[in-house]
């Protein structure tokens, strides 16, 4: 049944090209809102519209893993070309980022929330819950729903099984302080978090 819908769904889907990822990180963070994030696995396809992102600009951003160009096994991928996937394990969860900035510029955009678009049944099974709004409204939740893991580390986002495609137009974008970073000095107050205004799938906090 659903495979018919899959063909129909993918008919007009084209992965975004390299040029898309070459724009400045803050621009990319906003441009990603409304885009479709798609993951193909043996179990099926899951997709969601990106509704919340955060920018991390390495060298001068104390909240970023790559602050002051700190280059380790974990942050290595941030020094590579833009358009790659940077997955990172936090406690028991996995977080998904898009590398940006280009070679030797350790910048990235964290995807914080999605609006479920396709493969919703699969997402519900993977999360073990029914409520749509709780399926992907958080960085750790969306990776579980989509089936994204450390196996996707360093994967290019320009082709299957994991890629991003042009989605819908977003009417309004809001900006605010990033979440979950504490003693980061000045960086704590940067308005580097972006979300689709009034979208109910955005992770908690904030209204306007």
Task: Please enumerate in sequence order all residues whose Cβ is within 8 A of that of 131, keeping only pairs 6 or more positions apart, or say none.
Answer: none
Does residue 110 belong to the site contacting DNA (CB under 7 A)? yes
What stretches of the chain adopt beta strand conformation (E)?
36-41, 44-57, 85-90, 93-100, 107-118, 158-159, 162-165, 173-176, 193-196
Going by C-alpha positions, the residue among 182, 108, 185, 171 that lies closest to residue 139 is 108
Instruction: Give the shortest CB-92-to-DNA separation in angstroms.
Output: 4
- The C-alpha atoms of residue 89 and residue 189 are separated, in whole angstroms, by 25
Nearer to DNA, 13 or 179 (CB): 179
Among 80, 81, 124, 127, indicate the residue that binds DNA (CB under 7 A): 127
Does residue 72 belong to the site contacting DNA (CB under 7 A)? yes
Span interacting with DNA, options 35-43, 81-89, 169-177, 193-201, rule CB under 7 A: 81-89
- The C-alpha atoms of residue 18 and residue 1 are separated, in whole angstroms, by 34
Does residue 126 belong to the site contacting DNA (CB under 7 A)? no
Does residue 132 belong to the site contacting DNA (CB under 7 A)? no
Query: What is the binding site for DNA (CB under 7 A)?
Result: 54, 56, 63-66, 70, 72-75, 86, 88-93, 95, 97, 108, 110, 127, 134, 138-141, 150, 179-183, 203
């Amino acid at each position: 049944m659903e495979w018919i819908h899959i063909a129909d769904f993918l008919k007009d889907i084209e992965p975004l090209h390299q040029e898309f990822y070459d724009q400045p990180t803050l621009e990319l963070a906003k441009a990603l809102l409304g885009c479709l994030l798609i993951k193909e696995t043996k179990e099926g396809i899951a997709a969601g519209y990106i509704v919340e992102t955060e920018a991390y600009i390495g060298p001068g951003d104390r909240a970023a893993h790559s602050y002051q160009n700190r280059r380790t096994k974990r942050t290595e991928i941030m020094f590579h070309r833009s358009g790659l996937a940077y997955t990172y394990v936090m406690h028991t969860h996995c977080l998904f980022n898009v590398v940006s900035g280009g070679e030797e510029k350790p910048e990235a955009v964290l995807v914080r929330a999605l609006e479920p678009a396709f493969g919703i049944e699969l997402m519900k099974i993977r999360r073990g819950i029914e409520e749509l709004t709780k399926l992907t409204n958080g960085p750790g939740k969306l990776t579980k729903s989509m089936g994204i893991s450390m196996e996707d580390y360093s994967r290019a986002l320009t082709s299957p099984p994991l890629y991003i495609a042009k989605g819908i137009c977003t009417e309004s974008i809001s900006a605010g302080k990033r979440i979950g970073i504490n003693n980061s000095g000045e960086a704590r107050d940067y308005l580097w978090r972006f979300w689709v205004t009034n979208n109910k799938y955005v992770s908690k906090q904030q209204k306007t």
